[in-house]
Structure 1
Amino acid sequence: MKIAQFALLVFAIVLAIASTVEAGKKKKKPSKKPTQVVRWNKKMSGVSTWFNGHDLKGAACYGNLMGNSHVNAGDSWHIGAVHMASYVKSYKGACFECAKVSVGKKSIIVRIIDDCASCKPNQIDLTSSAFKALAPLSKGVIKTTYQFIRCPSSSLKWPKSPAIRKN
C-alpha cells in the first residue's frame, strides 16, 4: 500500500512541476500595434462595405481631432471610414485623407472622416451613395483596390472643413 501511495505522490509532484514549467513559458501574443500607414499612390487590395443612417452621426475625425463631435455626415457625401486603430498615429494617420476606391473600371474618390471599429485592415466602409457608384447595395461587401491619393480641390461630395491638406 505504501508503494502505491509513494508512486501516486511522485506522479502528482511530476505533474505539478510540468504544469508550473508550462505555465512559466510565455506564449507570444499577436502584436496589436498599428501596422498600416498611408502610402501614397500604392494600390492595395481590400474590401468595401457601406453604412448609412445612425452610423453617419458623430464623425470620429471631427470629434477626436477638432472637438466637433456634433458633425454628422450626410449620406450624399462621398466619405469613408477605416479602422483607425490599425493605422500608425491612429486618428492622425488616416483622418481627412482621400482614397481612390476601385472595382474593375469603376472608381470613386472618398475622404476618410470616420472610424470603423469593426473594420479589418484594408477595409473601407463607404457611405451608401459612394458604394452605389461601385456596386448595388445588395452586394453588401465587394472586393476593391484602393490607394491613398492627394485630395482634389474640386467640389467633390465631402465636407469642406477642414481645408484639404497640401501633403
Structure 2
Amino acid sequence: MVALTKFLFATFFSSAAIAREGKMTWYNPGVGACGKTNNDNDIVVAIGVPHWHAANPNNDPNCQKKVTIHHGSKTVTARVVDKCMSCGRNNIDVSPAVFKKFGPLSKGHFQVKWTLHN
C-alpha cells in the first residue's frame, strides 16, 4: 500500500519538467524534511511548501529528486532534501556549497531559473 501511495502522489502531484523563475537564497542544512542530515558542503536544495504533498514529508515524492538551477552561464544540479517554510512557490533555498557556485554568500540572493525533475 505504501508503494502504491508513493506512486499515486508521484503520478498526480509531480511538478517535474516545469521551469520556474524565482529567488535563490542560502541556508545551513541540518536534518531536513526528507529525514536525512546534510551539511553546508552538500549539493542540496530546499523547495517551497506548495511543492510538498505527503502528510509525512519523509515520504514525499519530491525527496531526493534533482533540481537544475540556472543563473547566467552557470548551471548546478542539486538534490531536494528539505522544505523551505519561507519560500514562495518559485523560490528555493540552497546549501552554501550550491550558492557559492553562483557567487559569494554575501550576495544574499540571486534570481534563478530552476526545474524539478523526476
> What is the CA RMSD across the aligned residues, in angstroms?
1.7
Match of 2:15, SS state, is coil
Contact preservation (8 Å) 2:15, 2:51: no
| Aligned 1:3-18 pairs, distance under 5 A | none
4+ residue runs over 6 A deviation: none
Higher relative contact order (CA 8 A, sep 6+): 2
TM-score (norm 2): 0.76
Q: Kindly tell me: are residues 77 and 95 of structure 1, through their superposed partners in 2, closer, same or farther at Cα, counting changes over 3 Å? A: same
Higher normalized helix content (fraction of residues): 1
Q: Kindly tell me: are residues 121 and 109 of structure 1, through their superposed partners in 2, closer, same or farther at Cα, counting changes over 3 Å? A: same
Q: Distance in 2 between matches of 1:132 and 1:146?
A: 16
**Cα shift at 1:88:** 5.4
Are residue 60 (structure 1) and residue 33 (structure 2) matched? Answer: yes
Partner of 2:3: none
Contact preservation (8 Å) 2:64, 2:81: yes
TM-score (norm 1): 0.56
Q: Distance in 1 between matches of 2:104 and 2:14?
A: 28
Contact preservation (8 Å) 2:70, 2:76: yes
The runs of 5 or more residues in structure 1 that have no matched partner are 1-36, 63-70, 151-167
Match of 1:94, SS state, is coil
Aligned residues: 102
**Cα shift at 1:57:** 2.0
Q: Distance in 1 between matches of 2:23 and 2:93?
A: 8
Structure (1 or 2) with the larger CA radius of gyration: 1
Are residue 82 (structure 1) and residue 47 (structure 2) matched? Answer: yes
Higher normalized strand content (fraction of residues): 2
Match of 1:60, SS state, is coil
